[in-house]
Amino acid sequence: MIELFYHPTPNGRKISILLEELELKYKLTKIDITKNEQFSENFSKISPLNKIPVIIDNKEIVFESGAILIYLAKKNNFRFYNQKYEININEWLMVQVSFVGPMLGQLHFFYKFNKGKSEYAENRFLDLAKKIYEYLDIQLSKNKYLACNEYTIADIATFPWLCRHEWHGIGIKKYKNLSRWYEEISKRPAVIKGYDPENLGEKIPMVS
């Protein structure tokens, strides 16, 4: 059975959503990053950067969310990772791990949790977040999903970051294609379950 070391962040939810989509049995091990549990000696042995998520699949340890998504998809008959679109999927997965996640993460830090401490940082990351929304909306005007017309790990990686749209102060509803994509994915049973693998009653924020 796969063990997922998890905290309910966008990066953690990427993996629980894919595990649910793949209908795999897994054990959830909570790493409370609000209590710095990611810096414990035991967790450091499997996560060299002291970050969640990490999975252990039998004796195979995989860290970094993008790498985990690729590993799981490949191991399970390339589900959600159609080899016909592999380059496109990799491109949009890398967009998420190198741009969408880091920039929105900085927006959360400065705009949501430390508002008023740095006007420059707030404006910089808010502007970048608006560009992210615009870029995603343009891409979704070309395809039903990010990489192609199939739902892939690129969508699974990106979706949890957009689940925090209420934090961004941008208004996802303004973006027709992005909000259509978001609403469609938010209705998938595996996504609903994977968003709240601890069964705490957490709901995916709706478009408003």
The percentage of residues in the chain with a pLDDT greater than 70, rounded to a whole number, is: 100
- What pTM, to 2 d.p., does this model score? 0.96
Alpha helices in the chain (DSSP H): 10-21, 41-44, 65-75, 86-95, 101-107, 119-142, 153-162, 165-168, 176-186, 189-195
In the three-class reduction of DSSP (H, G, I as helix; E, B as strand; rest coil), residue 52 is classed as coil
Q: What is the mean pLDDT of residues 152-175?
A: 96
pLDDT band of residue 124 (cuts 50, 70, 90) is very high
Residue spans in the chain of domains classed CATH 1.20.1050.10 = 85-188
Question: 2-79 belongs to which CATH class?
Answer: alpha beta
Tokens of 45: 């042995």
Q: What is the pLDDT of residue 115?
A: 83
Where in the chain do CATH 3.40.30.10 domains reside? 2-79
Contact of 15 with 6, CB cutoff 8 Å: yes
Mean pLDDT (the chain) is 96
Q: What is the pLDDT of residue 112?
A: 82
Could you please state the CATH topology (level 3) that the domain comprising 85-188 is classified under: Glutathione S-transferase Yfyf (Class Pi); Chain A, domain 2 (1.20.1050)
Please state, in angstroms and rounded to a whole number, the distance separating the CA atoms of residues 27 and 195.
15
Instruction: Enumerate the β-bridge partners of residue 30.
Output: 6
pLDDT of residue 116: 83
Q: Is the pLDDT of residue 111 over 90?
A: no
